[in-house]
Structure 1
C-alpha cells in the first residue's frame, strides 16, 4: 500500500510523514523527489530545458511507479509518500499504473487555508536550497529558494483543489501539529479513507488486441471518455480477452463502461497495427461503428467512478486537441472509412492497400 500525502507546501506533509512512520507498523518513507533529483543529474541539459518541473518528465512518472513497486519487494509496507501532485492527468497516470500492479493507494489531502500556508512559508527556515530544472548557459543548474518556489505553487494548488477534494480524504491541518496530523492520517488509513477505487488494468507483457467502439449523437459528433486510470481521452472499449471475438469485446466494454446495450454487432471501420514503442508492446487496434445514440439514451449514460470520470461528444477538430496523435490519427481514418462505407487497414496509422 502507498499512503500518498498530497497538499501545498506548508501543509505539513513532510513532518506528518515522519510522525506517521511511528503509527503505521512496517511503514517506510518514500520520497519521489529523490527520483526527480536523480533525473536532474542524469538527463542532458537540453532535455531539462524543455520542462519547468521534473513531474513533467514521463520518465519521472514511470520511475515513481517502478521504484515504489521495487521498494515493496524489500519492505513490508506501507510506503509513506509526501508529494504534492496537482495535475490530474499525472495522478491518473501514476495511480493507474500502481493499480495495474495491484498496489493500493490511499490518497490524503493535507489542507490549510492560503493565509495559513503563506504564514508557514514565511516562517520557514531556508538553510537548504532546491535546484530548478532550468540549466544556465554554462550547463550548471541555478538554485531556487524553497520559500519562493513554495509561494509560486499556491495558485496552482487552489486551481487543483476541486479535483483533489473529490479524489482524496481531506484533513484540515490549520490547527494541528505534525503528531496530530499523523494520527488523523493513521485513523483514516485504518478506516479505509482515501481509497482510490481505480480499475485495475494489468500492464501488458506482450502485444495486445484492443477493440474500441465509436458512438455518435444526432449531429454525428463522436463520443470520447476520460478514464480515471490513465491520462488522456479515449474511445469506449478495451483489451480483448483471450478467446473473445473482438466485436463482442467492444460491445461488452460499452455495456460495462456506459451501461449501453448495443442492439446489433458493430461494423468494423479500422484495423490498425500499432508498432511496439518501448515501454509499450503495440499490437492490433480495431475501431467499430456503434451507430448513433438517441437523445434519451445519451441522457441516461452512466459513469462508473472506478473507470471513467467524464464523457463528451466532440467534432473531429475538437478531438484532435483532446486525443494523443496516434489515437486521433486512428479516429481520422475511421471517420473516413465510415463515410466511404468500407473498412480500412492501417499499419502504424497509415492506410495500406
Structure 2
C-alpha cells in the first residue's frame, strides 16, 4: 500500500512521515525526491532546461510507480510517501498505474492555513540560508488552485495547530479507518499490442461526448480494450453500458481504424472508433458514471475537444468526424489517413 501525504510546502509532510513510521508496523519511508535528484544528475542540461519541475518528466512519474512496486517486493509496506502533488493529470497517471499493479493508495492531505505555511517557510529559510523560500512561496497559489480536486478525494488533516506527532497520530487513525482510499478500477498494463474500441456519441447539436477517466491523464472516448474472442463493435457497446449505463440499440457504424505505433513503454495496437448515434435529452440525463473509473462527462465541439484530448486522440477524433460527414470509414496509421491526407486540411 502507498500512503501518499499531499500538501503544500510547509504543511509538515516529511516530519509527520517520520513520526508515522513508528505508528504503522512494517512501514517504510519512500521519498520520490530521491528519484528526482537522480534524474537531475543523469539527464542532459538541455532536457532539464525544458522543464520547471522534475514532476514534469514522464520518466520521473513512471519511475515513482516502478520503484514503489519494486520496494514492495522487499518490504511489507505500507510505503509512506510525503510528496506534494498538485497536477491532477499527474495524479491520474501515477495512481492509475498503481491500480494497474494492484497497489492500493491512500491519499491524505496535510493542510495548514496560509499564515502558518508562510511562517514555517520563513523558519525553514532561516535554517537553510533562504535557498528554498522563493520556491516554496511560489507554490502557494498553485496549491490553493488545486485544493478543490484534492479535498474532493483525499482525507484532510488540518496541521495548522498540530505537532508532527499529533499529526501522525491523526493520520494513523485515518488510515486504520480506511480513509483516503483511492478507488480506481484499472486492468493490468498490457504486455503486448492491444485492440481497443471507442464509441462516439452525439447530442442534437452534433457535439461529441467525452469522458474524464480517473486512471490516466486527459479526456477520452467511451470505450476500452477488446477482450479475447470479442468483436470490436460488441466491445464498444459493452464498454458504453459499463461506463455510462447506456444500452445502445443496433450495430454502431465503423468510422476509423487507427494503427497506433509502439512508443515504449506503451505497446500500441489497433484503435477503432464507432458511431453510436445521437442521444436525446432523456438519454443524456440518465447517464451514470462509475466513480472508480470516470469522474465526469461532457458534450464538446471539435474546438473544445482540442483543449481536452491528447494529440493522438484528437487527430483520431478529427478523422472520425470527417468520416462521419463523408459516410466512408478511414484507415489511419499514427493518426494519419493513408492515401487520404487531403481530408486533414
Q: TM-score, normalised by structure 1?
A: 0.94
Helix, strand or coil at the partner of 1:251: helix
Question: Shift of the alpha carbon at 1:352?
Answer: 2.6
Alignment match, 1:3: 3
Question: Shift of the alpha carbon at 1:201?
Answer: 2.3
Alignment match, 1:253: 239
Q: Does 1:238 align with 2:224?
A: yes
5+ residue gaps, structure 1: 130-143
Helix, strand or coil at the partner of 2:160: coil
Paired residues, number: 339
Q: Once superposed, what is the RMSD of the aligned Cα atoms?
A: 1.2
Alignment match, 1:189: 175
Alignment match, 1:108: 108
Helix, strand or coil at the partner of 1:257: helix
Alignment match, 2:287: 301
Question: Shift of the alpha carbon at 1:128?
Answer: 4.4
Helix, strand or coil at the partner of 1:70: helix
Alignment match, 1:33: 33
Alignment match, 2:159: 173
After superposition, residues 37-48 of structure 1 pair within 5 angstroms as 37-48=37-48
8 Å CA contact retained: 1:89, 1:230 = yes
Cα distance in 2 for partners of 1:149, 1:125 equals 11
Alignment match, 1:140: none
User: Deviation per CA, 1:86-138, whole angstroms, max 9, x where unpaired?
Assistant: 11111101101111110000000001111111112222255547xxxxxxxxx
Alignment match, 1:329: 315
Cα distance in 2 for partners of 1:163, 1:184 equals 22
8 Å CA contact retained: 1:126, 1:147 = no
Cα distance in 2 for partners of 1:250, 1:126 equals 59
Cα distance in 1 for partners of 2:58, 2:312 equals 17
Alignment match, 1:17: 17
Alignment match, 1:133: none
Alignment match, 2:81: 81
Question: Shift of the alpha carbon at 1:6?
Answer: 0.3
Cα distance in 2 for partners of 1:349, 1:92 equals 24
After superposition, residues 132-171 of structure 1 pair within 5 angstroms as 145-171=131-157
Cα distance in 2 for partners of 1:200, 1:225 equals 15
Helix, strand or coil at the partner of 2:52: coil
Cα distance in 2 for partners of 1:278, 1:331 equals 23
Cα distance in 1 for partners of 2:181, 2:17 equals 18
Q: TM-score, normalised by structure 2?
A: 0.96
8 Å CA contact retained: 1:225, 1:236 = yes
Question: Shift of the alpha carbon at 1:324?
Answer: 1.2
Helix, strand or coil at the partner of 2:119: helix
8 Å CA contact retained: 2:194, 2:268 = yes
5+ residue gaps, structure 2: 340-345
8 Å CA contact retained: 1:267, 1:289 = yes
Helix, strand or coil at the partner of 1:124: helix
Cα distance in 1 for partners of 2:84, 2:335 equals 37
Cα distance in 2 for partners of 1:263, 1:61 equals 41
Helix, strand or coil at the partner of 1:210: strand
Q: Which residue of 271, 282, 307 maps to 1:285?
A: 271
8 Å CA contact retained: 2:125, 2:132 = no
Cα distance in 2 for partners of 1:128, 1:305 equals 44
